Chains A and B, each alone.
Chain A
Amino acid sequence: MNETKYWTWFMAAGVVILVLLGLHMMIMHLGAFTHLFVVDKGVEATAVVNSQSRDANLFFTITYVLLLGTALFHGLYGLRTILFELTLKKSMEKALSVLFIVLGLGLFCLGTWAAFTAHANALKAPAPQAAVSEGR
């Protein structure tokens, strides 16, 4: 029954990833057309000034962490499924599950720390709007 639980969350994570990656595409790669969350329209959406302004927004920090969590779970569970189809021994399956849990949690903690550090640094940095106006 555990697999039912994992699989249900795997599917739910897929839907969340679809929404968040759609948002990512709209902001980062179609920024020239959408101008979503772009404070300085003179440069690309991926420029430091625009990136810093998004980092300062808690909404983005939370979505980064959410995307990281769902992508890690979805990806690692998918990889585990592929490996399990190689007719492994029960002990090997257990070891792989533990490895993926440790790896996933480790990467999630690292990514979360990075996202919140970027958020804190962006708050300390001069306001992007001001930087833009000074630059001009």
Chain B
Amino acid sequence: MSGSHQTAHDVVFHVRRYTPERDKAPYIQSFTVPVHPGMTVLEGLHYIKENLDQTLAMRYSCRMGICGSCGMLLNGKPTLACNTQILDIADRELTVGPLPNFDILRDLVPDLMTMFQKHRALMPFVKRDDEEDVNDPAGEYYQSPEELEHYLQFSFCIRCGCCMAACPTLATDANYLGPMPLAQSHRWNQDTRDGARSERSSLAGGSHGAFRCHYAGECSRACPKGVDPARAIQHLKRQLVVDYLHLAKRKKPCEKQHGPGAFPKDPKIPEAPPFTLP
């Protein structure tokens, strides 16, 4: 207890402050925070809020890198404040700002609505034509582990917006869909249960879609969850071109398997033992 909470030294937090209703432009305010080993940036900001300035605004929730609420610009890099330890990135000074490429609601709180609107426009869900079959609970869509592998890593995205903040294309073109929505578009296109690839392609292949990506790769470097949006966008580009040139036969979404025995059986799984009760 005493070891982990001993104060190592003071670190000066240079926090970017901005209240749109009051300030003409953002400004930097500095706070001295006593830092102990293992302390995260979010904890440092909590220290400021509790002891130095209660007006500091920030967004956070889970404190464990799952919810994606506390995306911030720490020492010039967009990342999560809750899973970044202060002493890992700063010795004496640390700059903290809101995520760039977004409007600022207040202080460290970016307005992520533009990102979520683009995300929603690309239909981030399974969409099929057979509505009745989808709503029939007696059965399930079979997906093999290999099919799952095609999109699994892109499904780890927590929509924190760090990739959007790191994207140099989005910095100049606010209409560009951005890494997160495009990577999610690819994720749902790859899902064998989905049948809305054509619908997504009309937007993903639009004038501010996947082809505006310069492949700088900053989105993949910034992602705190290890997702590779740049790779997803390149896959998406290839898929759009292949579809346009009709170079590959488009697969139909998988059918729902009804009842026992309808699934492909894994030979490694042994038969169930016989009933022990009459």
* Contact of A85 with B173 in the complex, beta carbons under 8 Å: yes
Min CB gap A132→B, angstroms: 47
* Contact of A4 with B172 in the complex, beta carbons under 8 Å: no
Q: A1-B202, A4-B201, A93-B207 are in contact. Are A87 and B244 (CB under 8 A)?
A: no
* Contact of A1 with B207 in the complex, beta carbons under 8 Å: no
The one of B173, B240, B241, B243 that contacts A84, using a Cβ cutoff of 8 Å: B173
Residues of chain A within 8 A (CB-CB) of B172 are 85-87
Overall SS of chain B's interface: helix
Mask for A1-18, Cβ within 8 A of B = 1, else 0?
111110110010000000
* Contact of B240 with A4 in the complex, beta carbons under 8 Å: yes
Q: A1-B202, A87-B174 are in contact. Are A8 and B207 (CB under 8 A)?
A: no
Residues of chain A within 8 A (CB-CB) of B240 are 1, 4
Q: Give bound CA distance, A5 to B206, whole Å.
A: 10
* Contact of A1 with B244 in the complex, beta carbons under 8 Å: yes
Minimum CB distance partner of B172 in chain A: A85
Q: Give bound CA distance, A123 to B212, whole Å.
A: 46
Query: For the complex, is B155 an interface residue (Cβ under 8 Å from A)?
Result: no
* Contact of A86 with B173 in the complex, beta carbons under 8 Å: yes
Mask for A117-132, Cβ within 8 A of B = 1, else 0?
0000000000000000
Query: For the complex, is A91 an interface residue (Cβ under 8 Å from B)?
Result: no
Q: Give bound CA distance, A117 to B175, whole Å.
A: 45
Residues of chain A within 8 A (CB-CB) of B212 are 81, 84-85
* Contact of B173 with A1 in the complex, beta carbons under 8 Å: no
Among B145-187, those with CB < 8 Å from A are 169, 172-176
Residues of chain B within 8 A (CB-CB) of A7 are 211, 237, 241
Q: Give bound CA distance, A93 to B173, whole Å.
A: 13
Min CB gap A38→B, angstroms: 39
Query: For the complex, is B205 an interface residue (Cβ under 8 Å from A)?
Result: yes
Query: For the complex, is B209 an interface residue (Cβ under 8 Å from A)?
Result: yes
Query: For the complex, is B245 an interface residue (Cβ under 8 Å from A)?
Result: yes
Q: A81-B212, A85-B212 are in contact. Are A4 and B205 (CB under 8 A)?
A: yes
Query: For the complex, is B208 an interface residue (Cβ under 8 Å from A)?
Result: yes
Q: Give bound CA distance, A11 to B201, whole Å.
A: 19
* Contact of A8 with B241 in the complex, beta carbons under 8 Å: yes
Q: A81-B212, A84-B208, A93-B207 are in contact. Are A4 and B241 (CB under 8 A)?
A: yes
Residues of chain A within 8 A (CB-CB) of B206 are 1-3
The one of B175, B201, B207, B243 that contacts A87, using a Cβ cutoff of 8 Å: B175
* Contact of B169 with A85 in the complex, beta carbons under 8 Å: yes
Among A70-87, those with CB < 8 Å from B are 81, 84-87
Interface residues of B (CB under 8 A from A): 169, 172-176, 201-202, 205-209, 211-212, 237, 240-241, 243-245
Task: Show 17 A/B contacts (Cβ-Cβ < 8 Å), sorted by A.
Answer: A1-B244, A2-B205, A2-B206, A3-B205, A3-B206, A4-B201, A4-B205, A4-B240, A4-B243, A4-B244, A8-B244, A8-B245, A84-B173, A84-B208, A85-B212, A86-B173, A87-B173
**Sorted from nearest, which 8 A-B pairs have the closest CB atoms?**
A4-B205, A85-B173, A7-B211, A4-B240, A87-B174, A1-B205, A4-B244, A85-B172
Q: A4-B243, A11-B241, A85-B176 are in contact. List 13 more A-B contacts (CB 8 A).
A: A1-B202, A1-B205, A1-B206, A1-B240, A1-B244, A2-B207, A4-B201, A4-B205, A7-B241, A8-B245, A86-B173, A87-B173, A87-B175
